[in-house]
Structure 1
Amino acid sequence: MTRTTPAVVIAAPASGCGKTTVATGLMGALRRAGRAVAPFKIGPDYIDPGYHALAARRPGRNLDPVLTGEHLIGPLYRHGSASADIAVIEGVMGLFDGRIAEESPGTAFGSTAHVATLLGAPVVLVVDARGQSHSIAALLHGFSTFDSTVHVAGVILNRVGSPRHEEVLRQACEHAGIPVFGAIPRSDELSVPSRHLGLVTAVEHGARARAAVEAMTALVGRYVDLVGIAALAGSRVMADPWDAEEVTPVGGSATVALASGRAFSFGYAEHREVLAAAGAEVVEYDPLSDPLPPQTGAVVLPGGFPEEFVAELSANDVARAQIRQLAAAGAPIHAECAGLTYLVDDLDGHPMCGVLSGSATFTDRLTLGYREAVVVADSVLHSIGDRMMGHEFHRTAVSFADSYAPAWIFSGRDIERRRDGAVDGAVHAGYLHTHPAAHPQAISRFVAAAATSKLAPMSRLREEDGIPMSRLREEDGIQ
Structure 2
Amino acid sequence: MVSAVPAVVIAAPASGSGKTTLATGLIGALRRAGHRVAPFKVGPDYIDPGYHGLAAGRPGRNLDPVLVGAGRVPGLYRHGARGCDLAVVEGVMGLFDGRIDAGAGPIAEGSTAQVAGLLGAPVVLVVDARGHSQSLAALLHGFATYDSGVRLGGVILNRVGSERHEQVLRAACERVGLPVLGALPRLAELELPSRHLGLIPVVEHGAPAHAAVAAMTELVAAHVDLAAVAALAGATVRGEAWDPGAALRDIAPRVSGASGAGQAGSSGDPAGGARRRSAHPEVPSGERPVVAVAGGPAFTFGYAEHRELLAAAGARVEVFDPLLDPLPPATAGLVVPGGFPEEHAERLAANTPLLGEVAALAAAGLPVHAECAGLLYLARSLDGHRMAGVIDADAEFGPRLTLGYRDAVALADSPLWRAGQRVRGHEFHRTRLLRTGAPVRAWGWRGSDGRPVTEGAVTGAVHASYLHTHPAGDPTAIARFTTAAAAFAATRIGA
**TM-score interval, normalised by the smaller of the two chains:** over 0.9
Q: Which whole-Å CA distance do the structure 1 matches of 2:393 and 2:128 have between them? A: 46
Instruction: Provide closer, same or farther for how the CA distance between residues 344 and 107 of structure 1 changes in structure 2, counting only shifts above 3 A.
Output: same
Q: CA deviation at 1:4?
A: 0.6
| Separation in structure 2 between the aligned mates of residue 50 and residue 414 of structure 1, nearest angstrom | 35
Pick closer, same or farther for the CA change 1:261–1:448 going to 2, 3 Å: same
Cα distance, 1:402 vs structure 2: 3.0
Instruction: Tell me, yes or no, if the aligned pair for 1:41 and 1:63 is still in contact at 8 Å.
Output: yes
Residue 87 of structure 1 corresponds to which residue in structure 2?
A: 87
Q: CA deviation at 1:189?
A: 1.7
2:133 matches 1:160: no
Q: Does 1:327 align with 2:362?
A: yes
Contact conserved, 1:330 with 1:454, CA < 8 A, in 2? no
Which residue number corresponds to residue 219 of structure 1? 219
Residue 258 (structure 2) aligns with = none
Q: 1:122 to 1:414 in 2, by over 3 A?
A: farther
CA–CA separation in structure 2 for the residues paired with 1:179 and 1:297: 56
Report the CA distance between 1:135 and its aligned residue: 1.2
- Over 3 Å counting, the alpha-carbon distance change for 1:180 and 1:274 in structure 2 is same
Aligned residue in 2 for 1:468: none
CA distance in 2, matches of 1:52, 1:414: 37
Cα distance, 1:453 vs structure 2: 1.5
**Residues 239-258 of structure 1 mapped to structure 2, 5 A cutoff:** 239-246=239-246, 247-248=248-249, 249=280, 250-252=283-285, 253-258=288-293
Runs of 4 or more above 6 Å deviation: 455-458
Give the superposition deviation at 1:100. Answer: 3.9
Counterpart of 1:132 in structure 2 is: 132
* 1:2-46 CA-partner distances (Å, limit 9, x unpaired): 221000000000011111100010000001111111000001111
Deviates more, 1:243-252 or 1:424-433: 243-252
Q: Counterpart in 2 of 1:466?
A: none
Larger fraction in strand: 1
TM-aligned CA deviation for residue 454 of structure 1: 5.2
Report the alpha carbon displacement of residue 118 of structure 1 after superposing the two structures with TM. Answer: 0.9
Task: Name the aligned partner's letter for residue 230 of structure 2.
Answer: A
Query: What is the CA–CA distance in structure 1 between the aligned matches of 2:396 and 2:67, rounded to whole Å?
Result: 28
TM-score, reference length from structure 2: 0.90
Residues 427-479 of structure 1: per-residue CA shift (max 9 Å, x gap):
01000001000110101100100101257869x9xxxxxxxxxxxxxxxxxxx
**Cα distance in 2, alignment partners of residues 118 and 161 from structure 1:** 36
Indicate conservation of the 8 Å contact 2:337/2:370, yes or no.
Answer: yes
CA contact (8 A) 1:101 1:107 kept: no
Counterparts of 1:400 and 1:75, CA distance in 2: 44
Range with greater deviation from structure 2 (273-282 or 408-417): 408-417
Percent of aligned pairs with the same residue?
62
Provide the secondary structure at the position in 1 that maps to 2:20: helix
Could you say which residue in structure 2 is the equivalent of 1:118?
A: 118
Q: Aligned in 2, Cα 1:302/1:126: closer, same or farther, shift over 3 Å? A: same
| 1:305 to 2:328 alignment | no
SS of aligned partner of 2:108: strand
User: How far off its partner does 1:97 sit?
Assistant: 0.8
Classify 1:103/1:343 alpha carbon distance in 2 versus 1 (closer, same or farther; 3 Å): closer
Which residue pairs with 1:375 in the alignment? 410
Residues 126-184 of structure 1: per-residue CA shift (max 9 Å, x gap): 00111212111111111101111000000001111111111121111111100010011
Q: Give, in whole Å, the separation in 2 of the partners of 1:268 and 1:413.
A: 27
The 2-side partners of 1:294 and 1:415 are apart by 46
What TM-score, normalized to structure 1?
0.93
Amino acid at match of 1:444: A
The secondary structure found in structure 2 opposite 1:453 is helix
Distance 1:273 1:333, change over 3 A: same
Cα-to-partner distance string for 1:97-146 (whole Å, 9 max, x where unaligned): 11245642434111111110111000000001112121111111111011
Task: Please state whether the residue corresponding to 1:158 is helix, strand or coil.
Answer: strand
Moved more, 86-95 or 187-196: 187-196
SS at match of 1:356: coil
**Partner in structure 1 of residue 184 of structure 2:** 184
Partner of 1:465: none
The CA deviation at 1:412 is 4.0
Alignment partners' CA distance in 1, 2:244 and 2:51: 24
Does the CA-based 8 Å contact 2:289-2:489 persist in structure 1? no
Tell me which residue corresponds to 1:202. 202
Provide the secondary structure at the position in 2 that maps to 1:266.
coil
How many correspondences in the alignment? 459
After superposition, where does 1:307-456 map in structure 2 within 5 Å?
Answer: 307-399=342-434, 401-413=436-448, 416-453=451-488
**Unaligned stretches of 5+ residues in structure 1:** 461-479
In the alignment, the residues of structure 1 paired with residue 343 and residue 194 of structure 2 have an alpha-carbon distance, to the nearest angstrom, of: 13
The 3-state SS of whatever aligns with 1:62 is strand
SS at match of 1:44: coil
1:101 & 1:402 partners in 2: Cα distance?
A: 33
Q: Take 1:436 and 1:300, find their aligned partners in 2: how far apart are those partners?
A: 12
Aligned residue for 1:41?
41
User: What is the correspondence of 1:228-239 to structure 2 with a 5 Å cutoff?
Assistant: 228-239=228-239
Residues in 2 aligned to 1:66 and 1:455: alpha-carbon distance in whole angstroms: 37
Kept in 2: contact 1:436–1:443 (CA 8 A) = yes
- Which amino acid in the other structure matches residue 407 of structure 1? A
Q: Is contact 1:372–1:412 with CA below 8 Å preserved after alignment? A: no
Change (3 A) 1:172 1:401: closer
* CA contact 1:298–1:331 (8 Å) conserved in 2: yes
- Answer whether contact 2:155 2:182 (CA < 8 A) is retained: yes
- The CA distance in 2 between the partners of 1:415 and 1:191, in whole Å, is 39
Indicate the SS of the match to 1:282: strand
Superposed CA RMSD = 1.5
2:151: which partner in 1?
151
CA deviations on 1:350-396 (whole Å, 9 max, x unpaired) are: 11001122111111111100001001111100111110110000011
- Cα distance in 2 for partners of 1:200, 1:456 equals 41
